[in-house]
Structure 1
Amino acid sequence: MTEQKTEYGYGNAVECKEGEFAGWYHWNHDPYETRSGPFYMRREDDGSYLSAFRAEEKHMNGAGSMHGGCLMTFADFALFAIATDEMRDQMGVTMNLSSDFLGGAQPGALMEARGEVTRGGGKTIFIRGLITGDGAPVLSFTGIIRKFSKRP
């Protein structure tokens, strides 16, 4: 995949060209996130952002349900997808990520994250969201992103 400027505002968001998530985008600059997912995002017709991935065996814990660390990594990805319009080509870091586990997800489940910016406009962005597995609530989350400019 080649890097390209996208509607998502990040120069290194690339479009998936094949498979289940063809037409979706992902960031290719985070090695941990890429190995953990990969996770995908797209803009919905209402202007919001939807993040998704398909649950695989590599995402499960010893009991056969999705690992909590995987869910929190996906929530962190979703924070930035949800806040895409607020980020406006700037970099950012997660200052806080809080979550509540609501249920489990099994291999093969379609994992989706939706949410909203509850406060933005400055250097600090507040977000809340919900992750579902095949439509059932799995994790609710809130987070705070702090924007910063790249250093020369």
Structure 2
Amino acid sequence: MATSSTTTTPLPDFLSEAGWEIHDTTSPFTAPHGRMYQKFDADGVCWRAFQARDEHCNGAGIIHGGMLMTFADALMGMTVAHNARSTALTVRMTTDLLSIARPGDWVIGQAKVSKLTRSVAFVGAEAHVGKRPLIACQGLFKLMRRRELRSHRQK
């Protein structure tokens, strides 16, 4: 059973059997969104999952589109970072919200880089609840060198 190095909470059976691990975020923005699970396959595809909670809901009691878009953006960024071995910043993201999710649903997404250059990456992502498509996205990400990031942080 896979667990994080900082927690001993076991994964749900359907995730642990598939080789998923707990993703411990370092982002202060996404940390409040709750526990995420993640894995990479041999083709560089990143998979990520979370169980929707009441805190993710809008006033209609369904999972807020902004939560789903944040999930997809982080998924695509991680996919680019993994494949390019570089920090990646979102330049553009187009999103189609195809269905709804409710508290208790498991949202499972996957992302794959379609083109990688020296300075940018193109990536696509989709997520579903069960067999129902939930969201589809395309993104353009800027690859950042450590030196560029340091100079931005100092400003």
Where on the TM-score scale, by shorter chain, does this alignment land: which range? 0.7 to 0.9
Name which of 19, 37, 42 aligns with 2:10: 19
Question: Counterparts of 1:148 and 1:109 in 2: how far apart (Å)?
Answer: 35
Provide the residue aligned with 1:104 in structure 2.
Answer: 100
C-alpha offsets along residues 2-31 of structure 1, whole Å, 9 cap, x if unaligned? Answer: xxxxxxxxxxx9676423367514253211
Question: Counterparts of 1:53 and 1:46 in 2: how far apart (Å)?
Answer: 22
Do the aligned partners of 1:55 and 1:110 also contact (CA within 8 Å) in 2? yes
- TM-score between the two structures when normalised by the length of structure 1: 0.79
How many residues get paired? 139
Question: Counterparts of 1:15 and 1:143 in 2: how far apart (Å)?
Answer: 31
For structure 1, the 5+ residue unaligned runs are 1-12
Residue 145 of structure 2 aligns to which amino acid in structure 1?
S
Q: Which structure is higher in helix share?
A: 2
Larger C-alpha radius of gyration, 1 or 2? 2
Higher mean Cα deviation, 40-49 or 120-129? 40-49
Query: Residues 36-115 of structure 1 correspond to what in structure 2 (within 5 A)?
Result: 36-44=33-41, 47-88=44-85, 90-115=86-111
Q: In 2 relative to 1, CA 122–46 (structure 1 residues): closer, same or farther, beyond 3 Å?
A: closer
Do the aligned partners of 2:79 and 2:112 also contact (CA within 8 Å) in 1? yes
Provide the residue aligned with 2:153 in structure 1.
Answer: none
Q: Match of 1:19, SS? A: coil
Do the aligned partners of 1:52 and 1:113 also contact (CA within 8 Å) in 2? yes
Provide the residue aligned with 1:137 in structure 2.
Answer: 133
- Please state how far the C-alpha of 1:42 moved relative to its aligned partner: 0.9
Q: Match of 1:83, SS? A: helix
Residue 30 of structure 2 aligns to which amino acid in structure 1?
E
Q: Match of 2:30, SS? A: helix
Q: Match of 1:144, SS? A: strand
Q: In 2 relative to 1, CA 132–24 (structure 1 residues): closer, same or farther, beyond 3 Å?
A: same
Provide the residue aligned with 2:122 in structure 1.
Answer: 126
For structure 2, the 5+ residue unaligned runs are 151-155
